[in-house]
Amino acid sequence: MQKQTFIHSSAVIETGASIGSGVHIGPLCHIGPDAVIDDGVKLVGHVTVIGATTLGANTIVYPQAVLGGPPQNQSHKGGRTTLTVGANCIIREFVTMHIGTDNARGATTIGDNCNFLAYSHVAHDCIVGNNVTLTNGATLGGHCEVGDNVGIGGLSAVHQFVRIGQGAFLAGGSMLVGDLIPYAIAMGNRAKLRGLNVVGLRRSGMSKAEIMTLRRAYKTIFDPAQPVSENIEIARAEFADSPGAMKIVDFIAVRGKRHYAVPPLKGAVDDDADDQD
């Protein structure tokens, strides 16, 4: 049976806002004129949705979250930019997400089935994939790109323009200032690699054989005997039949003054994953 739309009498919905069917808008919510609230969204109470913000179907937002605020970027001149949140996301208390800047992408984009725990933050112009979790107090700076199935631990901060590859995990209390390759774990103040995210790979259904291939590729890429630039070409040839290894190689191959892959912790080239299986 289709849920009925509920709007509490104390909620403020400005003219122009689009409200889908089966939406629940609790007490003291404020919905701005450019907001789009898709079917089945639940705003528990005291939620603010401003700017050109779209909330995907069945997303749940908890009290004191502020979604669609202007970017904390002095170069933004006030042009119309957007925030789009996918379907089935959970956005907990005091989460903040900002629209894009009008001199950059102009859009902040978040995928489906994401989980943003209390006090986490997504800055302007970020691209966040599907099934991403930001734990309590985790922060993304502007222009970050986060792949699918990424976990970011509590009180961690990701520097602006940083990329985090698919299936990676950033441990709690870390500061990430360079790109984190797919399927890896990083941790520390100025985080360094600590091996592959083997637990995450297993949970994703990746076979043991493919995981072992990724581990060999990881060791090849970060072999200290040669520069990484040479190692990735060796890995490209040796592991051409492994889609996962090629994803790592292609990720590292993206170069520029704002992009470099964080290396393993000094003296820990081998990944420290569990070898028991």
CA 211, 212, 217, 220 dihedral sign is positive
Check if the beta carbon of residue 31 is closer than 8 Å to that of residue 52: no
Distance CA 204, CA 237 (A): 26
Comparing CA positions, the residue from 54, 16, 55 lying closest to residue 32 is 16
Residues 6+ apart with CB under 8 A from 155: 136, 137, 138, 172, 173
Tokens representing residue 213 in the block: 């291939």
- Between 228-238 and 208-221, two packed helices, what is the crossing angle to 10 degrees? 150
Q: Which helix (H) or strand (E) holds 12?
A: strand 12-13
Angle CA(147)–CA(105)–CA(192) in degrees, nearest 5? 40
Check if the beta carbon of residue 142 is closer than 8 Å to that of residue 71: yes
Tokens representing residue 249 in the block: 């190689």
Give me the active site residues, please: 124-125, 142
